[in-house]
């Protein structure tokens, strides 16, 4: 083919739409990060560059404890979600028909859009009915329930793109079904699982509503703390915490995309959705 080019090439309108859209998405975050370095006590007055709010955060025991709780919940729930979500994706793409498949896929897709207040309230009621002590584990279970659905969607989209004859070829060359899966499919969906894990981790770190319902005394997560601060107005220290979280996410994404590049571009889309 002789270099086919779209006839309606990038018009000025398209460039403007894209530029404005991205500016809209990024400007507030950039402003937030800049203001986190503000030396002034007043959040809206620029008083020069300073790290004082970061220092304040690292001296705030309650905030640090909440951050630690959040990280623990996120790590455990993301790991559980990665395992369960991958299994769910496999069941959906590999088992054409089994009883309750429709219900299963419905249960996996519904939490993606279900208002969090409903998910949070219903889980809380379950924990109360089961007589479970509310705290670290209830939040973790709640987050796993939500995030495994995201993992399932990501892994499923990757699985759908894999030619099943690859596995068949492995079996033809003498692998059993399980060996074939481990030797061929798992490495191929590995990046998707990793992306799913990271998404689950950040979603858990991010969640306010479900955590508010399912947590107990002494297990406040970081968003719960931030929320109670924010309700009372803007606090410079919150800027710093937010900037730290944004930095962590940016670092993770950069690392992940570098890792995908280095591992020979077999990952396809490292971060769908």
Partner 1 sequence: MSGRNLFTRPARLAAIAPYGWMVLFFLVPFGFVLKLSLSQVANAQPPYLPVFDLSAGWRALVAAASVLSLDNFRLLLSDDLYLAAGLRSLTVAATATALLLLLGYPVAYAMSRLPRRFQPLAMMLVIVPFWTSFLIRVYAWINILQHDGLLNQVLLALHVVSAPVVWLSTDTAMYIGMVYSYLPFMILPLYATLSKLDPSLCEAAADLGSSPLQSFWRVTLPLSLPGIGAGALLCFIPLVGEFVIPDLLAGSDAPMIGQTLWLEFFTNRDWPVAAATAVMLLAILLLPLVIYDRFQRRQMVRP
Partner 2 sequence: MEAVSDITSQAGTALPLLRIDGVGKRFGGFTAVDGVSLDIRPGEFFALLGPSGCGKTTLLRMLAGFETPDSGRILLNGEDVAGTPPHLRPVNMMFQNYALFPHLSVRDNIAFGLRRAGMRRAEINARVAELVALVRLEGLEKRRPEQLSGGQRQRVALARAVARRPRLLLLDEPLAALDKKLRDSTQRELKALQRTLGLTFIVVTHDQDEAMTLADRIGVMNAGQLVQVATPRQLYETPRSRWVAEFVGDINIIEGRITTREAGRLRLTTGGAGELAATLPPEFGDAAEVCVAVRPEKIRLSLRPPVDDPAGGAINRLEGTVRDVGYLGSASSYTVALDGGASLRVSLANAARLYADAYAVGQRVTAWFSPDDCIVLDR
Q: Give least dist CB 114 to partner 1, A.
A: 7
> How close are the terminal C-alpha atoms of the chain, in Å?
33
Q: Which of residues 164-193 bind partner 1 (CB under 8 A)?
A: 164, 168, 171, 177-178, 181
* Dihedral angle computed from the Cα positions of residues 260, 265, 271 and 273, in that order, rounded to the nearest 10 degrees: 180
State phi, psi for 233 to the nearest 5 degrees. 120, 175
Nearest to partner 1 of 174, 231 (CB atom): 231
DSSP 206-218: H--HHHHHH--TT
Does residue 239 interact with partner 1 by CB under 8 A?
yes
Does residue 41 interact with partner 1 by CB under 8 A?
no
State phi, psi for 163 to the nearest 5 degrees. -70, 120
Q: Taking CB within 5 to 8 Å according to partner kind, which of partner 2, partner 1, none is near residue 234? A: partner 1
Q: Which stretch binds partner 2 (CB under 8 A): 1-9, 78-86, 177-185, 245-253?
A: 1-9
Q: Give least dist CB 9 to partner 2, A.
A: 10
Binding mask 153-182 for partner 2 (x = CB under 8 A): ------------------------------
**Are the C-beta atoms of 92 and 108 separated by less than 8 Å?**
yes
Binding mask 128-157 for partner 1 (x = CB under 8 A): xx-----------xx-xx--x---x---xx
Nearest to partner 1 of 97, 264 (CB atom): 97
Q: Which residue in this structure is represented by tokens 């479900």?
A: 210
Q: What angle in degrees, to the nearest 10, is found between the helix axes of 236-262 and 186-206?
A: 180
Number of residues that bind partner 2 (CB under 8 A): 6
Q: Taking CB within 5 to 8 Å according to partner kind, which of partner 2, partner 1, none is near residue 1? A: partner 2
Q: Give least dist CB 49 to partner 1, A.
A: 17
Q: Which residue in this structure is represented by tokens 């894209």?
A: 18
Q: Which residue in this structure is represented by tokens 């996410």?
A: 249
Q: Give least dist CB 90 to partner 2, A.
A: 30
**Are the C-beta atoms of 224 and 210 separated by less than 8 Å?**
no
Does residue 246 interact with partner 1 by CB under 8 A?
yes
**Are the C-beta atoms of 271 and 256 separated by less than 8 Å?**
yes
Nearest to partner 2 of 9, 25 (CB atom): 9
Q: Which of residues 4-43 bind partner 2 (CB under 8 A)?
A: 4-5, 7
- CA atoms of 51 and 248, how far apart (whole Å): 17
Q: Strand pairing partners for 49?
A: 38
| Residue of 220, 32, 43 whose CA lies nearest to 136 | 220
Q: Which of residues 77-106 bind partner 2 (CB under 8 A)?
A: none
Residue selected from 66, 74, 108, 184 as contacting partner 1 according to rule CB under 8 A: 108
**Which residues in 68-195 belong to E strands, given as ranges?**
none
- CA atoms of 167 and 171, how far apart (whole Å): 6
Residue selected from 41, 58, 68, 122 as contacting partner 1 according to rule CB under 8 A: 122
């Amino acid at each position: 083919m002789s270099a086919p080019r779209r006839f309606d090439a990038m018009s000025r309108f398209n460039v403007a739409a894209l530029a404005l859209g991205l500016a809209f998405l990024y400007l507030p975050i950039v402003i937030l990060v800049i203001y986190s370095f503000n030396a002034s006590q007043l959040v809206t007055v620029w008083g020069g560059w300073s790290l004082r709010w970061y220092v304040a955060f690292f001296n705030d025991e309650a905030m640090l404890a909440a951050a630690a709780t959040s990280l623990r919940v996120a790590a455990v729930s993301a790991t559980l979600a990665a395992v369960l979500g991958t299994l769910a994706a496999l069941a959906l793409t590999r088992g054409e028909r089994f009883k309750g498949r429709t219900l299963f896929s419905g249960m996996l897709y519904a939490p993606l859009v279900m208002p969090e207040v409903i998910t949070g309230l219903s889980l809380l009621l379950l924990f109360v009915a089961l007589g479970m002590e509310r705290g670290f584990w209830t939040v973790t279970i709640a987050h796993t329930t939500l995030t495994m659905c995201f993992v399932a969607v990501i892994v499923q989209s990757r699985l759908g793109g894999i030619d099943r004859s690859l596995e068949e070829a492995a079996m033809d060359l003498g692998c059993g079904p399980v060996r074939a899966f481990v030797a061929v499919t798992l490495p191929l969906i590995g990046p998707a699982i990793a992306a799913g894990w990271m998404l689950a981790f950040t979603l858990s770190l991010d969640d306010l509503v479900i955590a508010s319902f399912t947590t107990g005394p002494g297990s406040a997560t970081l968003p719960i703390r931030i929320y109670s601060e924010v309700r009372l107005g803007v606090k410079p220290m919150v800027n710093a915490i937010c900037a730290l979280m944004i930095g962590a996410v940016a670092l993770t994404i950069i690392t992940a995309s570098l890792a995908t590049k280095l591992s020979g571009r077999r990952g396809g889309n490292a971060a769908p959705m």
